[in-house]
Structure 1
Amino acid sequence: MSATLIQVTPFVLCADLERQIGFYRDILGFTLGFQAENYAFLRRDGAAVRLLECPPRPDGTPLGHEHSFYIDVEDLDGLFQQLKPQLDQLPPERVRAPFDQPYGQREFHVLDEDGALVFFGAAIAG
């Protein structure tokens, strides 16, 4: 029998675990499944993230500055409308509303508390 891959779960580095849990839970609608001293696991439907609290970088660069991940969704515009009241609480430069990409995906983007870019996307019907 061959092994089967079932999910990719990104580790998301953060400076303040409680603050980052709040973002993924209260803004993006994830549910906290487990929390330890410097680690948390959150899930929403078939997507999950693992948060890892780390010391700040010596140069002051945000921990998520070079990190991004993509979450494929069904009904992208419906999800954006569902999240919009929470997203409106963020500074406008942290949210990019739905738009079409030339490679056949419709996306919206959100920066988390430590600068990681979260892409939400769905194939454009057609």
Structure 2
Amino acid sequence: MLESHDMQATLTFYTKVLNFTCDAQFDDLSWLTLSKDGIEIMFSTPNPHRNIPKPIMSGSLYIKTNEVAALWESLKDQCEICYPLEDFDYGMREFAIYDNNGYLLQFGQEL
């Protein structure tokens, strides 16, 4: 469950840019669940008791795909890039972007 301060922007980013489907949402858009190709991600508005000014996560979401090059081509001009498509010594071809909340999303394919 990831937090978002702008649920409408999150819904738009994941459905329009990343082509996820919104499977369920609360009427007030305080919670939603998105899916694509067996991946499910849930978002909620921040818990007021935690009082965190912006979403934080020390890691990333790593999504494996069999079409990383095509995915890179479709996303590279639509997203904030962390690093471009690259082959790594550990046997992966991957790239990373930031979503509208600043979460790091990495996409990789085995070489």
Question: TM-score per shorter chain, which class?
Answer: 0.7 to 0.9
Q: Which residue of structure 2 aligns with residue 122 of structure 1?
A: 109
Q: How does 1:102-121 map to 2 (within 5 A)?
A: 102-121=89-108
Q: Does 1:32 align with 2:19?
A: no
Aligned-partner Cα distance in 2 for 1:101–1:12: 28
CA contact (8 A) 1:64 1:114 kept: no
Question: TM-score when scaled to structure 2?
Answer: 0.82
Matching residue's letter, 1:29: N
Consecutive unaligned residues of structure 1, counting only runs of 5 or more, are 1-10
Q: Does 1:19 align with 2:6?
A: no
Matching residue's letter, 1:69: L
Once superposed, what is the RMSD of the aligned Cα atoms?
2.0
Corresponding pairs, count: 107
| Residue among 94, 97, 101 paired with 2:88 | 101
Which runs of structure 1 show a deviation greater than 3 angstroms over 4 or more consecutive aligned residues?
A: 55-60
From the CA coordinates, give the structure whose radius of gyration is larger: 1
SS at match of 2:100: coil
Aligned-partner Cα distance in 2 for 1:67–1:119: 10
CA contact (8 A) 2:23 2:34 kept: yes
Matching residue's letter, 2:67: D
Aligned-partner Cα distance in 1 for 2:89–2:56: 26
Q: Does 1:43 align with 2:35?
A: yes
Identical pairs, percent: 27
CA shift in 2, pair 1:16/1:67, >3 Å? farther
Aligned-partner Cα distance in 1 for 2:103–2:59: 5
